[in-house]
Amino acid sequence: MGIFTVSLWVCPSVKRTLARVNRVSATLLAGRQLSRVPGLYDHVRSVLTGMLETAGELRKLQSGYLPVEPPLFFTARDHVIWYALDLEKHTATILVVEPISKVQDSGSGEQEAS
């Protein structure tokens, strides 16, 4: 009778690599706002995917510390994009999308009230 041992079988010709998957999602409100401008979601998703990759690399260089407390924002195609990053899960969530003119109007109103 043969003796069997428990072990993992690994095919030497197959090399496995695990790639991090960066996921970009949007809240219901942000999804509605993005759908009003053709091509804006694709552009924002591309920018946020790049930001996730960059933040992941910066985090490695900073020995695990990189402050990314939400909300964060950037401008894209005359809109302010508010978002949150989760570097542990490799995700970005688009929170709110506002036209720059609306943000400027609310900013000027605050200045007049002061």
Higher pLDDT, 21 or 71: 71
- For residues 69 and 84, the answer to whether their CB atoms sit within 8 Å is no
Count of H-run helices and E-run strands, the chain: 3, 4
What digits encode the pLDDT tens for the residues 11-57?
A: 555 455 445 568 999 999 999 999 999 999 999 999 999 999 999 88
For residue 51, give every residue at least 6 positions away whose Cβ sits within 8 Å of its Cβ, in sequence order, or none.
85, 92
Q: What gap in Å lies between CA 61 and CA 77, rounded to an integer?
A: 31
Residue at token pair 């909300």: 71
Domains and CATH numbers, the chain: 23-99 (3.30.2310)
**Which helix or strand (DSSP H or E) is residue 32 part of?**
helix 28-35
